[in-house]
Amino acid sequence: MGSLKEVRSSIEEAYKKKLDRPRIIVGLGTCGMAAGGTKVMAAIETEVEKLGLDVDLDFTSCIGMCYAEPVVEMGLPGAASVVYGGVYPEDVAQLIESHMVNKTPVTDKAEIQISAGGATYEGIPVMEKSPYYEKQVRSVTSRLGRTNPERIEDYIATGGYAGLEKALTMEPQEIINQVKISGLRGRGGGGFPTGTKWQFVADAVGDKKYIVCNADEGDPGAFMDRSVLEGDPHAIMEGMMIAGYAIGANEGVIYCRAEYPLAIKRLNMAIAVAEEMGILGDNIMGTDFNFKLRIKAGAGAFVCGEETALLNSIEGKRGMPRVRPPFPAHKGLWQKPTCLNNVETFANIPFIVRNGGDWYASMGTEKSKGSKVFCLTGKINNTGLAEVPMGITLREVVFNIAGGIADGKKFKAVQSGGPSGGCLPAEQLDLPIDYDSLISGGAMMGSGGLVVMDEGTCMVDVAKFFLNFTQLESCGKCTPCREGTKRLLEILERICDGLGVPEDIDTLERLAKTIKTSALCALGQTAPNPVLTTLRYFRNEYEAHINEKRCPAGVCPELLTYAIVEDKCVGCGVCIKACPVGAITGEKKAAHTIDASKCVKCGACVPKCKFDAIVQA
Amino acid sequence: MAICKCTGEQVESPQDVQLMELLEHYREYDGALIPVLQGAQDIYGYLPGEVLETISKELKIPFSEVFGVVTFYSQFHLKPRGRNIIRVCLGTACHVRGGSKIFEGLKEILGVDNGGTTEDLRFTLESVACIGACGLAPVIMINDDTHGRLTNDGLDKILEQYE
Ligand SMILES: Cc1cc2nc3c(=O)[nH]c(=O)nc-3n(C[C@H](O)[C@H](O)[C@H](O)COP(=O)(O)O)c2cc1C
Ligand code: SF4
Ligand code: SF4
Ligand code: SF4
Ligand code: FES
């Protein structure tokens, strides 16, 4: 292929025509499928065929509204398209009849409408004005839910590969300069300035250099990389190719975790078609730039997300971190200079090259530029993906975008930064979200997972949960991490079991600080963070567990007591049958009682009582 | 490769042929070990000792190193597993939304513990740290399918879909 410009206009033309046809689009990312999207698609196919409708059926990936999955978009020529949420096979016939046949949207199932500049419908929020999207700025996520990720035409028609096309006319150093001006910091967690990293690799001496994309995304609670991999695979490839041209590499590897089969499938398709079109491979777009790309599937080890461990894993070894220096920029894959970045980092690059570094730097805060994609999960009303300008407050994200706490409960904490991060309490809700503020609050940006917890969450249990995770995932190479996290976990387990002693708090703090300063890689260096922040903000919960043998949130089984409320109990006797140890006694039609010395706190009786007479406290 | 019990000759099963093709494909490839192990596990369902020996010999990598890699990564298995692999997410979002209850429920239905396989080899049950569908927590994955927003009541119906 010669210049992309020649084919671009015909692709754009065809794309515009497509938008002017009646169409139904189903969200089929992993989350959409998990909610039942495939069955909805099948029901739509059947219905469209039955009615003999002239409608284009298509699919997209996740638009970000996980809370509304399965999501179906319906559009008619000249009108805004409506995104329906919570669509199940049984809803399909009515939706199609009303929207596609009678041209009347079903307002109560409509989440948002996306206007194409034309008319809009009454009574349905326009995307940009809807509570979920109002505060968002969508660039990296702009194609998610809007294009078919398995069709390169959709990518090109929406500006795809224009960044690469432009980059190939620029001096490599000028590209690096633009990335520096943008202020982009690595989105994989550490926040290292991307332009500076690229400069190191460009300046490094080596006959061969590599580009590596870290798509390992191991942080529980984070799925932004999966969403981009599944929803916009070409954007990552384009970013990697631009990086390759800028630093002088002609080979790239995407290390994708094996838990993401759909992402791997779509990446493979994207690579194959880009090669076929001459966008990837030799003499890209008729220039003398060559670039080869392959995927390496992970094999299940969290520590492989750490950059040096990841390189070992690509080389076929155990994924254990290497001692640094030398840094990967100088001696990376096969000891060659290597530029390793996160998925979201690469996905930002085409936008920066197309719009200029200044455009990117105009968003965000002084030291954290641009936008960041967050995953909103936990006890909130709207779980999903949100791309927001850096510097937005936690409160805006939790209460405006995520719609506040579910089931009318009270906010307790937001966990940010995964296992390396921390839990921030209500007093910190006005903290701006940027790299430095989060660290000053005791948490971390990490990859961008925000797990919201309500009053029903025990913070000692949460700390135990994370320590259990890091303890299992420690590669075992260095002692502070291997042995230290185990000791931390043991103490936390004791506290949750009601066997804590007052000295435990001091021991936890001392041990945590030692591990932080002596572990070899960031896994061990950050593993104590969940303990330290919960101690900082929720010390009273630790004290209640240790001194009063009480779990204020009512979570730790050993510290719960079960009792029957006399006034509510009608003496039906159902609970007696449920109790495996015969702790409940009572006469028929008279209030029953639980013998605390026999009760093993299994909780089996609680759901059995139809009168809510059994309470745990 | 298997040895024929009657003649003592080496016989090749279709799986062994596939393994040879796999090795051929990766012979000149840098960092071949992990993709070869992944491919071999796809062929046999797990990694039998003889297969590891063949891989070690063919790729000229010491057996100890092959074994070290196999035991390091959680996705390699040295024992036969069920036809359907259930991965229950016990990540943060799922934890906060009651993932462990789902795990307990599945253990009870299947009568196996973490890592266990049912006697009829229909299911293997495992826990994982995050499937990346946290927005639909609690979540499980059966083979390559993800199921979200689970409740214990719905588990039977989901399992029914897998033979
Ligand atoms: C234990 C551990 C796990 C990590 N996991 C990931 C990951 O899943 N994805 C990622 O991009 N970075 C991860 N990182 C950070 C990487 O080591 C590295 O800093 C990053 O990929 C660099 O890319 P960036 O500059 O674009 O952020 C992890 C680090 C540690 C210590
Ligand atoms: S800190 Fe932990 S994970 Fe990192 S090298 Fe040491 S033992 Fe391995
Ligand atoms: S099930 Fe409830 S109402 Fe019936 S005896 Fe037990 S506590 Fe009382
Ligand atoms: S919690 Fe369990 S052991 Fe205790 S009274 Fe209820 S059913 Fe019996
Ligand atoms: S925490 Fe369960 S899917 Fe992420």
- Kindly tell me the burial class for residue A53, based on how many C-beta atoms sit within 10 Å of its own C-beta (0-12, 13-18, 19 or more): middle
| Closest-CA distance of chain A to residue B153, Å | 14
Rounded to the nearest angstrom, the distance between the alpha carbon of B138 and the centre of ligand 5 is: 7
Rounded to the nearest angstrom, the distance between the alpha carbon of A617 and the centre of ligand 3 is: 17
The answer to whether B4 is a known ligand-binding residue is: no
> Do residues A460 and A423 make contact, with C-beta atoms less than 8 angstroms apart?
no
Number of structural domains in chain B? 2
Looking at per-residue pLDDT, the higher value among A606 and A149 belongs to A149
B91 and B66 within one domain: no
The predicted-structure confidence for B115-162, as pLDDT tens digits, reads as follows: 999 999 999 999 998 999 999 999 999 999 999 999 999 999 999 999
B152 and B90 within one domain: yes
- Looking at residue A248, its pLDDT comes to 97
Distance of CA A450 to the CA centre of its chain: 8
Instruction: Determine if ligand 2 sits within 6 Å of the CB of residue A515.
Output: no
Q: Which two tokens stand for residue A68?
A: 């509304």
Backbone angles phi, psi at A147, to 5 degrees: -130, 165
* pLDDT above 80 (res B73): yes
Compute the distance between CA of residue A1 and CA of residue A286 in angstroms, rounded to an integer: 6
Give me the residue label for tokens 């890689």: A521
- Looking at residue A399, its pLDDT comes to 95
The answer to whether B130 is a known ligand-binding residue is: yes
Q: Which two tokens stand for residue A22?
A: 């009646």
Beta strands per DSSP E along B90-154: 123-128, 140-142, 145-147
Residues A520, A521, A525, A530, CA torsion sign:
negative
| Closest-CA distance of chain B to residue A162, Å | 30
Q: Do A66 and B136 touch (CB under 8 A)?
A: yes
Q: Which helix (H) or strand (E) covers residue A231, if one does? A: helix A224-231
Backbone angles phi, psi at A47, to 5 degrees: -65, -45
B101 and B63 within one domain: no
Cis bond upstream, residue A70 (ω within 30): yes
- Looking at residue A596, its pLDDT comes to 87
Considering the domain boundaries, does residue B45 fall inside one? yes
Q: Which two tokens stand for residue B134?
A: 């946290």
The predicted-structure confidence for A461-480, as pLDDT tens digits, reads as follows: 999 999 999 999 999 999 99
Chain B partners within 8 Å of A314 (Cβ): 31
Q: Do A30 and B133 touch (CB under 8 A)?
A: yes
Considering only the beta carbons, identify the residue of A35, A223, A457 that sits closest to B134.
A223
Considering only the beta carbons, identify the residue of A220, A300, A375 that sits closest to B75.
A300
Considering the domain boundaries, does residue B1 fall inside one? no
Give me the residue label for tokens 């701006």: A432
3-state secondary structure of A293: strand
Poorest-pLDDT segment among A53-62, A110-119, A400-409: A110-119
Considering the domain boundaries, does residue B7 fall inside one? no
Compute the distance between CA of residue A257 and CA of residue A148 in angstroms, rounded to an integer: 22
DSSP string computed for B31-71: T-HHHHHHHHHHHHSS--HHHHHHHHHHHT--HHHHHHHHH
Which of A141, A223, A455, A462 is the best residue to mutate to test the B interface, defined by the most B CB atoms within 10 Å of its own CB?
A223
Chain B partners within 8 Å of A466 (Cβ): 92
Hey, how many other C-beta atoms are within 10 angstroms of the C-beta on A549? Answer: 15
B48 and B27 within one domain: yes
- Kindly tell me the burial class for residue A197, based on how many C-beta atoms sit within 10 Å of its own C-beta (0-12, 13-18, 19 or more): buried
Residue type present at position A370: G
Q: Which domains does chain A have, with CATH numbers?
A: 18-129 (3.40.30.10), 161-362 (3.40.50.11540), 364-454 (3.10.20.600), 459-548 (1.20.1440.230), 560-616 (3.30.70.20)
- For the packed helices B33-44 and B49-59, what is the interaxial angle rounded to 10 degrees? 150
The predicted-structure confidence for A218-236, as pLDDT tens digits, reads as follows: 899 999 999 999 999 999 9
* Across A273-301, average pLDDT: 94
B92 and B62 within one domain: no
Pairing of strands A384-389, A81-84: unpaired
Compute the distance between CA of residue A244 and CA of residue A237 in angstroms, rounded to an integer: 10
Nearest CA to ligand 3 atom 8: A569
* pLDDT above 60 (res A320): yes
List residues bridging with A413 in a β-sheet.
A425, A453
Q: Do B129 and A319 touch (CB under 8 A)?
A: no
Nearest CA to ligand 1 atom 9: A217
Atom of ligand 1 nearest to the CA of A521: 31
> pLDDT band for position B5 (50/70/90)?
low
B149 and B93 within one domain: yes
B63 and B92 within one domain: no
* pLDDT above 80 (res B12): no
3-state secondary structure of A309: helix
Compute the distance between CA of residue B16 and CA of residue A217 in angstroms, rounded to an integer: 34
Residue B67 domain boundaries: 14-72
The predicted-structure confidence for A186-199, as pLDDT tens digits, reads as follows: 999 889 999 999 99
- Kindly tell me the burial class for residue A16, based on how many C-beta atoms sit within 10 Å of its own C-beta (0-12, 13-18, 19 or more): exposed
The predicted-structure confidence for A325-348, as pLDDT tens digits, reads as follows: 999 999 999 999 999 999 999 999
> pLDDT band for position B13 (50/70/90)?
confident
Nearest CA to ligand 2 atom 8: A475
Rounded to the nearest angstrom, the distance between the alpha carbon of A570 and the centre of ligand 3 is: 6
**From the CA atom positions of chain A, what is the Rg in Å?**
27
Compute the distance between CA of residue A238 and CA of residue A244 in angstroms, rounded to an integer: 10
The predicted-structure confidence for A46-76, as pLDDT tens digits, reads as follows: 999 999 999 999 999 999 999 999 999 999 9
Considering the domain boundaries, does residue B146 fall inside one? yes
| Closest-CA distance of chain A to residue B146, Å | 5
Considering the domain boundaries, does residue B6 fall inside one? no
Atom of ligand 5 nearest to the CA of B138: 2
| Closest-CA distance of chain B to residue A417, Å | 11
Residue type present at position A185: R
- Looking at residue B9, its pLDDT comes to 58
Q: For all residues of chain B together, what is the average pLDDT?
A: 91
Chain B partners within 8 Å of A453 (Cβ): 96
* pLDDT above 80 (res B30): yes
Distance of CA A207 to the CA centre of its chain: 37
Q: Which two tokens stand for residue A51?
A: 């009615």
* Across A305-315, average pLDDT: 96
Domain closes at, from B72, B97, B113: B72
Nearest CA to ligand 1 atom 4: A305
Backbone angles phi, psi at B66, to 5 degrees: -60, -45
Strand order in the sheet with A384-389: A384-389, A371-378, A449-454, A411-416, A422-425
Considering the domain boundaries, does residue B78 fall inside one? no
- Looking at residue A165, its pLDDT comes to 95
Which of A31, A450, A460, A468 is the best residue to mutate to test the B interface, defined by the most B CB atoms within 10 Å of its own CB?
A31
Which of A28, A33, A61, A259 is the best residue to mutate to test the B interface, defined by the most B CB atoms within 10 Å of its own CB?
A259
The complex scores an ipTM of: 0.90
Q: Which helix (H) or strand (E) covers residue A233, if one does? A: helix A233-247
List residues bridging with A393 in a β-sheet.
A432
> pLDDT band for position B7 (50/70/90)?
low
| Closest-CA distance of chain A to residue B5, Å | 36
B53 and B100 within one domain: no
Compute the distance between CA of residue B163 and CA of residue B158 in angstroms, rounded to an integer: 11
3-state secondary structure A264-283: HHHHHHHHHHHHHCCCCECC
Q: Do B130 and A218 touch (CB under 8 A)?
A: yes
Q: Do A301 and B73 touch (CB under 8 A)?
A: yes
Backbone angles phi, psi at A156, to 5 degrees: -65, -40
Give me the residue label for tokens 């969290």: A302
Residue of B nearest to A378 (CA): B93
Question: What CATH number should be reported for the domain holding residue B62?
Answer: 1.10.10
Q: Do B31 and A220 touch (CB under 8 A)?
A: no
Q: Do A315 and B31 touch (CB under 8 A)?
A: yes
3-state secondary structure of A374: strand
B89 and B68 within one domain: no
* Across A414-433, average pLDDT: 93
Distances from the Cα of A546 to the Cαs of A413, A499, A507, A536, in angstroms?
Answer: 21, 7, 13, 16
- Of A481, A517, A526, the residue with max ligand 2 atoms within 8 A of its CB, to mutate for a pocket test, comes to A481
Compute the distance between CA of residue A495 and CA of residue A423 in angstroms, rounded to an integer: 19
Residue type present at position A591: A
Domain closes at, from B72, B95, B120: B72
- Of A256, A307, A516, the residue with max ligand 1 atoms within 8 A of its CB, to mutate for a pocket test, comes to A307
Phi-psi label, residue A408: left if phi above 0, alpha if psi -120 to 50, beta otherwise: left
- Looking at residue B33, its pLDDT comes to 96
Which of A318, A444, A556 is the best residue to mutate to test the B interface, defined by the most B CB atoms within 10 Å of its own CB?
A318
Atom of ligand 1 nearest to the CA of A525: 31
Q: Which two tokens stand for residue A332?
A: 């990376």
Residue of A nearest to B97 (CA): A378
* pLDDT above 80 (res B3): no
Nearest CA to ligand 4 atom 4: A599
Chain A partners within 8 Å of B96 (Cβ): 377-379, 451, 453, 457
Considering the domain boundaries, does residue B106 fall inside one? yes
Chain B partners within 8 Å of A66 (Cβ): 133, 135-136
Q: Do B129 and A302 touch (CB under 8 A)?
A: yes
Q: Do B136 and A31 touch (CB under 8 A)?
A: yes
Question: What CATH number should be reported for the domain holding residue B113?
Answer: 3.40.30.10
Q: Do B147 and A449 touch (CB under 8 A)?
A: no
Q: Which two tokens stand for residue A378?
A: 């936990």
> Do residues A442 and A422 make contact, with C-beta atoms less than 8 angstroms apart?
yes
Residue type present at position A166: K
Q: Do B129 and A69 touch (CB under 8 A)?
A: no
* pLDDT above 60 (res A142): yes
Rounded to the nearest angstrom, the distance between the alpha carbon of A163 and the centre of ligand 3 is: 68
B90 and B45 within one domain: no
> pLDDT band for position A526 (50/70/90)?
very high
Start-to-end CA span in chain B (Å): 29
| Closest-CA distance of chain B to residue A217, Å | 8
3-state secondary structure of A595: coil
The predicted-structure confidence for A538-568, as pLDDT tens digits, reads as follows: 999 999 999 999 999 988 988 888 999 999 9
B156 and B89 within one domain: yes
Compute the distance between CA of residue A571 and CA of residue A442 in angstroms, rounded to an integer: 51
> pLDDT band for position A141 (50/70/90)?
very high
Considering only the beta carbons, identify the residue of A226, A301, A451 that sits closest to B96.
A451
Considering the domain boundaries, does residue B126 fall inside one? yes
Compute the distance between CA of residue A265 and CA of residue A218 in angstroms, rounded to an integer: 19
B62 and B19 within one domain: yes
* pTM over cut 0.80: yes
Compute the distance between CA of residue B92 and CA of residue A452 in angstroms, rounded to an integer: 10
Compute the distance between CA of residue A490 and CA of residue A487 in angstroms, rounded to an integer: 5
Q: For all residues of chain A together, what is the average pLDDT?
A: 94
